[in-house]
């Protein structure tokens, strides 16, 4: 089984936001929720970098550990998924998440945040693969069709990489060697407790 990861090569990201749009469309993400977003650090200053960030599908995911109802689980491909039938909308996963991935449709409405929503790595949820129930709750299940998440698939500069961790780390390493620089795999140390030497 592969160990699925995301890797954003910040030296290539041009902040076009195609990944954000692709995700919203492919998964029919509810209004007000963005499973993926692009953030520019040091905007307008020398050395600014843009990073596309979503759920990183952490190793030993903190959201899964703190969930009081065990709604969050990790698949055999190391994709962190959640069940909207089990979620009670308590908000604990979003206190624990280092990447601000979990979001709630009614975040300002007291007493009920609604069911948590986050990036599924385009792998749906606990319902049968490709079923309508799965699509309505979680969006597309591209992984079951043998495809990678759409955000990474349609990245125009191939900044955002998705796939088996070792393979995308190898691609990134080769890039760094070839071009002579690399600002590192953002979030990897926090999510996977490892970095890619650059």
Partner 1 sequence: MAMLIGRVRFIVGAMALALMFALAAPASAQVRNPDTSVNPTASSVKEEQLLQEFRRIQGRGTIPDTRSYVIEQPAGRDWRQFHQVTLHWIGAIAILGMLALLVVFYLMRGMIRIAAGRAGRVLVRFSAFERFVHWITAACFIILAISGLNITFGKPLLLPLIGPDAFTTWSQWAKYAHNFLSFPFTLGVVLIFLMWIAWNIPTRVDVEWLKEGGGMVGYKHPPAYRFNAGQKMIYWIVVLGGAAVAVSGYFLMFPFYGTNIADMQVAQVVHGVVAVLFVAVMIAHIYIGTIGMEGAFEGMWDGTVDVNWAKEHHSLWLEKETAEGHVGAPPPKGKMQPAE
Q: Which residues bind partner 1 (CB under 8 A)?
A: 10-11, 15, 17, 20, 32, 34, 37-43, 46-51, 53, 62, 65-71, 85-92, 94-100, 107-108, 110-113, 180-184, 186-187, 189-190
Residue 62 Cβ vs partner 1, minimum distance, rounded to whole Å? 5
Residue closer to partner 1 (CB basis): 91 or 130:
91
Work out how close the CB of 109 gets to partner 1 at its nearest, in angstroms, rounded to a whole number: 9
3-state helix, strand, coil in the chain (%, to 5): 25, 15, 55
Q: Give me the least distance between CB of 69 and partner 1, in Å please.
A: 5
146: Cβ–Cβ under 8 A, 6 or more apart, which residues?
none
Q: How many residues in the chain?
A: 198
Helix (H, G, I), strand (E, B) or coil at 187: coil
Minimum CB distance to partner 1, residue 132 (Å) = 21
Which of 43, 194 has the CB closer to partner 1? 43
Assigned token pair, 107: 């975040």
CB 85 within 8 A of CB 129: no
Taking the least distance from each CB to partner 1, the nearer of 146 and 181 is: 181
Q: In angstroms, what is the minimal distance from the CB of 174 to partner 1?
A: 16
Other beta carbons within 10 Å of 27: 25
CA atoms lying within 13 Å on the CB side of residue 165:
20
Quick one: tokens of 38?
A: 């692009």
CA–CA dist 105, 153 (Å, integer): 27
- Least distance from C-beta 145 to partner 1, angstroms? 28
| Torsion angle (degrees, nearest 10) of CA 70, 76, 81, 85 | -50
For partner 1, which is the closer residue by CB, 65 or 133? Answer: 65
Question: CB-wise, 39 or 171, nearer to partner 1?
Answer: 39
Nearer to partner 1, 2 or 184 (CB): 184
């Amino acid at each position: 089984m592969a160990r699925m990861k995301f890797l954003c090569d910040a030296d290539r990201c041009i902040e076009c936001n195609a990944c954000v749009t692709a995700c919203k469309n492919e998964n029919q993400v509810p209004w007000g929720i963005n499973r993926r977003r692009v953030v520019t650090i040091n905007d307008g200053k020398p050395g600014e970098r843009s990073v596309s960030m979503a759920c990183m599908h952490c190793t030993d995911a903190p959201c899964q550990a703190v969930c009081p109802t065990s709604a969050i689980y990790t698949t055999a491909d190391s994709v962190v998924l959640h069940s909207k039938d089990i979620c009670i909308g308590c908000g604990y996963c979003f206190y624990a998440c280092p990447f601000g991935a979990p979001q709630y449709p009614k975040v300002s409405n007291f007493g009920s945040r609604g069911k948590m929503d986050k990036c599924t790595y385009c792998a749906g949820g606990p319902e049968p693969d490709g079923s309508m129930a799965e699509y309505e709750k979680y969006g597309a299940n591209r992984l079951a069709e043998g495809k990678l998440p759409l955000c990474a698939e349609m990245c125009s500069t191939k900044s955002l990489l998705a796939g088996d961790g070792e393979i995308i780390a190898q691609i990134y390493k080769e890039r760094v060697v070839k071009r002579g620089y690399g600002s590192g795999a953002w979030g990897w140390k926090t999510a996977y407790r490892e970095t890619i030497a650059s």
